[in-house]
Amino acid sequence: MFQEHLMNNNKPHPPKAALRLLSWFCPTELYEEIEGDLIYQFNKDVKTVGEKKAKQKVLLNVIRFFRPGILLRNRITIPLIPIYMLFNYLKVAVRVMLRNKSYSFINLFSLALGITAFAFLFLWTQHEFSYDQFHTDKDRLYKVFNRTYTNGKINSWDVTARVLAPTLQEEYTAIESAISYTAWGEQHLFIEGDKRIVKTTGAYADDAILTMFSFPLIKGDAKTAFKDPMSIAITEKFAQELFDEEDAFGKTVTIGEGSESFTLNVTAVLKDLPSNTDFRFEYIIPYKLVEMLSGKNTQWGNNSVYTFVKLKEGTDINQFNEQVKDVVQKHNKDADQWEVFLYPLTKMRLYSRFENGVPDGGRIEVVRLLAMLGICLLAIACINFINLSTARAQRRSKEVAVRKVTGALRNSLIAQFLCESLLLAFGAGVLSLVAVYMGLPYFNQLISLHLTLEFTNLNFWVGGLLLIILVGLLAGSYPAFYVSAFKPVKILKGLVISATGKSRLRAVLVVFQFGIAITLMVSVFVVQRQIAYLQNRDAGYNKEHLVYQYFTGSLKKNFEAYKNELLARGVAQSITKTSTPITDRWSNSDAMEWEGKDPENKTLFERIYADDAFATTAGLTVVRGRDMDPEKYATDSTAVVINESAAKAMGFDDPIGKRIRDNGTEWHIIGVVKDFILTSPWGQVEPVLLFGCVNSWPFSVAHIKLSAHHTLQENLQVMAELSKKYNPDYPFEYEFVDAAYARKFADLETTRTITLVASFLTIAIAGMGLLGLSSYMVEVRVKEIGIRKVMGGSVFSITRMLTWSSLKPILIAVIVFGPQAWWVMNWWLSSYPYRISVGLFTIPLAALSIIGLAVIITSTQTIRAARTNPVNSLRNE
Amino acid sequence: MSKEFLGEFEELVLTMVAALQEDAYGAAIAEEIETRLKRDVNLSAVHVTLYRLEDKGYIKSSLGGATNERGGRRKRIFTITSAGMSMLKAMKDARLDLWKLVPQLKMITG
């Protein structure tokens, strides 16, 4: 060695890495001589070809030794022991599982439930994060927002003037393209051959829409598709509807009919939009066409379209926002304090709520909440495994001791127990894969999406495997360390490890489990009560027998005849045509004027136009004045009926006869109706003005109060018949107001289902864990119970004692997590202006139901134990 | 024994082991082949062949001394066994018998 060091200092020596490589694959018994030969060769080479070349040659020579003649001389002796032991571990694991079928079942099943719930929530979360991330230039895409100052508060909203997009494009060099975009749900009739299809899923957009965003084109050129105004882009699905299997590209399709019909060329066929985009359309009609027909809308005060912008590469968004913010002020003298800013498209889905002008979360909160829920469910399932295996560790103590005595290292014991938990996690993973596969259609229905499992995607399998390994390690590592630390001397001497359920950690984990259970239970109660509360809220109008029908085709033209015949045949009690269904907002303004208006008052008033007796048709309660009746009063063409909120907002004590100016017309108030819900059943009631109107332009829908003298079936039959008569080209379509109203609850109902399912799962998993723990506790204490009975303990007192010891952590959970649940639910409710309070009794009620459930679960075990004959438990030993 | 055959390179290495006697180890054999036959051989081929010959029982080996050139690593000295020797002889005789069948032509010079 000494020699070698000397030599190393003076002479060049072969690269260490090459020799290390050799040592890695070369059999040990051959290593020394081969290495020696290589060094010999190297030293010779240094003299002939120089050090650098010689080093390269060493590496080359080493690589040449990587051949079967050398490799196969490796005796596979080193890994033999772990593999052999692995089989032993697996064998023991399977035997242990089979010996305690009920515990294995609890472990496996609760882990499977946890993983399944986690997988569903993960799929959903992942989908939420992928919204509009597929656009190639997503980092340069922005939506234009307004920032307006009213009553000292900043409002941020995203509906802009039609003229904004062309103005931006023209005046700001940093903008590559800017478009207006709308998807109002306007009805279009498509005619192709003898097919007539009515669609409301169209969008109007400027030409650049196809180049800005990356909606995949099947056919057509994104750059030139809308060169001609008479063109249309349609999705694959719609193309199939129109043209069946034929190639839609280059074909023509007719929209509308009679004098108002156009023939458009299909200049682009798009792939169906993916579900992870907030754009929703089946066809795009260029704005050029709309403007050719109805003129350009150059009013800055009319905000009704979305504006999207693509910046040039390298533009600093903050700087640009500084530049662009006064664009509306420059063009619109009325809009002082009106600013514009760009907000990233990629943030629209999750971060698009603004509070006083700054971004303030949004949907991301729901996503986070549900992601947390998923993690909690998984954790609860892991806790079951941890608790049951540490509690039952005593059973394995002899095995551990024997293994240790025969020479097992602690590490190999840890490996053994991790093997067991991994095996279990793997089993649970397979179960939950099946469960997710089978349950996905229901889950999709619940969240109204179409999520799929990507079986062909490698990431799916790798991710799944990683999850399973993670779960196995999480659940298994504590038990593995705990059990492997047993001292063999104590165990083999017969000292019993205390395993009566008195572990502090175990208690803490149970507290955590039931804490989550109680939180979810409370939320189920609160959500349920809130929904019931909102559904029982007086809408302010009578939804029953109230139907609305959109004006399609010639229905608007023939409305009077249609109306008269419906009334004459006794089908309808009252019919009113209006600008919107009573369940929707249509138009609003903060610029109305009236006598004695405070100039600072910027209350937003909702407009509804109605031709006749809307209060009667919708069942609104007139509290002052009268309903509209243009037949009787000719002046009702400029009459307005307001609701109580509007009267209050305008500061009228006696509103009747007062005048209001709006849109250049002077209106007089003839009546006041009780507040009614226009938009959301949980919001504040908006101030609403019902304008009388003789012109026909604002009207798009007829409200029909059906007669109660006939059955619904009969009424609808007559309506269908008359619709066919007066509007032969369009299918008969109608909507019940109560159904439309009920749809407002869809989101809340999803929340209810999710909390219901999640709390059911939590309670199921935690309950199973409790069952396992209490049955084990009873098993361990069987002698104690026997002695107590012999000493005269009653079944009741013993049951009480045993149950009490299981219940303690649950009581602690109630005390610790109850207030937190109350706080969470208060937070949730705070987003509903019209809401219940969490209530004093909600938490005790939830606590009682959880405790009740826990008592039932534990007493199944404890009563049986308390009733057993002490002879059976005490006779042996 | 006669059923077994040696490849050309095996025969060469075996002959080298017999020739070099106490000095027969991987690097030396490779070097010797290179200098005497002007033939490029690589070290791993020689080693693999040596091990194969040892498996077949024609040579045996023991660890020998270490030198400076080898960085203090010992060499594995191979010696030919009697089985190896008779194999070599048999091959040489067979080769000579065959050689006799070839018509002895005069070398044409120039």
| Residue pLDDT, tens place only, A424-436 | 999 999 999 999 9
Tell me how far apart the alpha carbons of residues A638 and A645 are, in angstroms, rounded to a whole number.
Answer: 21
Q: What is the reported pLDDT for A736?
A: 92
Helix, strand or coil for residue A177? strand
Q: Please, are residues A449 and A119 in contact by the beta-carbon 8 Å criterion?
A: no
Last residue of a domain, one of A71, A90, A124: A71
- What is the mean predicted confidence (pLDDT) over A158-185? 90
Q: If you write DSSP's letter for every residue of A377-416 in order, what string do you get?
A: HHHHHHHHHHHHHHHTHHHHHHHHHHHHHTT--HHHHHHH
Both ends of chain B: CA-CA distance in Å? 45
Predicted confidence (pLDDT) at residue B109 exceeds the cutoff of 60: no
- For B8-101, which CATH class? mainly alpha
Domain ranges of chain B: 8-101
Q: Which two tokens stand for residue A785?
A: 């119970």
> Range of A21's domain?
2-71
Instruction: Check A36 against B73: CB less than 8 A apart.
Output: yes
B25 contact A CB<8A: yes
- What is the mean predicted confidence (pLDDT) over A654-659? 87
Q: Are residues A777 and A720 in the same domain?
A: no
Q: Which site among A33, A45, A74 would you substitute to test the B interface, given the most B Cβ atoms closer than 10 Å to its Cβ?
A: A33
Helix, strand or coil for residue A555? coil
Chain B residue closest to A69 (CA)?
Answer: B48
Q: What is the reported pLDDT for A778?
A: 85
Chain A residue closest to B47 (CA)?
Answer: A34
Q: Please, are residues A355 and A156 in contact by the beta-carbon 8 Å criterion?
A: no
Using a 10 angstrom Cβ sphere, with 0-12 exposed, 13-18 middle and 19 or more buried, the burial of residue A813 is buried
Q: Are residues A498 and A553 in the same domain?
A: no
Contact residues for A866 (Cβ-Cβ < 8 A; gap 6+): A785, A789, A795, A796, A798, A799, A802
Domains contained in chain A, number:
4
Q: What is the reported pLDDT for A295?
A: 83
Q: Which of residues 33-92 of A touch B (CB under 8 A)?
A: 33-41, 43-44, 61, 64-65, 67, 69-70, 73
Tell me how far apart the alpha carbons of residues A781 and A802 are, in angstroms, rounded to a whole number.
Answer: 9
A96-155, pLDDT tens digit by residue?
888 888 888 989 999 999 999 999 999 989 999 999 999 999 999 999 999 888 777 888
Whether residue A540 is contained in a domain is answered as no
Q: How close is the nearest chain A Cα to the Cα of B90, in Å? A: 27
Alpha carbon A86 to its chain centroid, in Å, reads 42
B59 contact A CB<8A: no
Point out which residues pair with A154 in neighbouring strands.
A149
Q: Are residues A516 and A602 in the same domain?
A: no
Q: Are residues A615 and A658 in the same domain?
A: yes
Using a 10 angstrom Cβ sphere, with 0-12 exposed, 13-18 middle and 19 or more buried, the burial of residue A338 is middle
pLDDT category at B107 given cuts 50, 70, 90 is low
- Average pLDDT of chain A is 86
Tell me how far apart the alpha carbons of residues A749 and A863 are, in angstroms, rounded to a whole number.
Answer: 40
Q: What is the reported pLDDT for A5?
A: 45
Instruction: Check A61 against B43: CB less than 8 A apart.
Output: yes
A56-72, pLDDT tens digit by residue?
888 888 888 888 888 87
Q: Looking at beta carbons, which residues of chain B come within 8 Å of A43?
A: 69
Q: Which two tokens stand for residue A631?
A: 């037949």
Q: How close is the nearest chain A Cα to the Cα of B55, in Å? A: 11
B52 contact A CB<8A: yes
Instruction: Check A36 against B74: CB less than 8 A apart.
Output: yes
Q: Are residues A392 and A460 in the same domain?
A: yes
Q: Which site among B29, B56, B73, B76 would you substitute to test the A interface, given the most A Cβ atoms closer than 10 Å to its Cβ?
A: B73
- What is the mean predicted confidence (pLDDT) over A801-821? 90
Higher pLDDT, A797 or A499: A797
A302-339, pLDDT tens digit by residue?
888 999 999 999 889 999 999 898 888 888 887 778 88
Instruction: Check B70 against A41: CB less than 8 A apart.
Output: no
Whether residue A113 is contained in a domain is answered as no
Q: Please, are residues A504 and A780 in contact by the beta-carbon 8 Å criterion?
A: no
CA separation, residue A61 to residues A56, B51, B52 (Å): 9, 17, 19
- What is the mean predicted confidence (pLDDT) over B8-37? 90
- What is the mean predicted confidence (pLDDT) over A232-239? 92
pLDDT category at A514 given cuts 50, 70, 90 is very high
Range among A10-24, A354-368, A620-634, B16-30 with highest mean pLDDT value: B16-30
Q: Any idea which of A20-24, A264-268, A323-327 has the lowest mean pLDDT?
A: A20-24
Q: Are residues A606 and A633 in the same domain?
A: yes
Q: Please, are residues A604 and A588 in contact by the beta-carbon 8 Å criterion?
A: yes
Report which of A252, A263, A271, A310 is spatially closest to residue A289, judged by C-alpha positions. A263
Q: Which two tokens stand for residue A315?
A: 């533009």
pLDDT category at A501 given cuts 50, 70, 90 is very low
Q: How close is the nearest chain A Cα to the Cα of B101, in Å? A: 37
| Residue carrying structure tokens 């007192």 | A797
Tell me how far apart the alpha carbons of residues B78 and B25 are, in angstroms, rounded to a whole number.
Answer: 6
Tell me how far apart the alpha carbons of residues B17 and B26 are, in angstroms, rounded to a whole number.
Answer: 9
pLDDT category at A7 given cuts 50, 70, 90 is very low
Percent of chain A with pLDDT over 70: 96
Point out which residues pair with A666 in neighbouring strands.
A661
Give this complex's ipTM: 0.86
Q: How close is the nearest chain B Cα to the Cα of A69, in Å? A: 6
A570-612, pLDDT tens digit by residue?
888 889 988 888 888 888 888 888 888 887 777 889 988 888 8
Higher pLDDT, B14 or A679: B14
Whether residue A81 is contained in a domain is answered as no
Q: Are residues A227 and A278 in the same domain?
A: yes
A823-861, pLDDT tens digit by residue?
989 988 988 888 888 888 888 999 999 999 999 998 888
Q: Looking at beta carbons, which residues of chain B come within 8 Å of A14?
A: 71
Contact residues for A125 (Cβ-Cβ < 8 A; gap 6+): A367, A370, A371, A374
Last residue of a domain, one of A348, A382, A413: A348
A699-710, pLDDT tens digit by residue?
888 999 998 888
Q: Are residues A387 and A300 in the same domain?
A: no
pLDDT category at B81 given cuts 50, 70, 90 is very high
Last residue of a domain, one of A742, A774, A803: A742
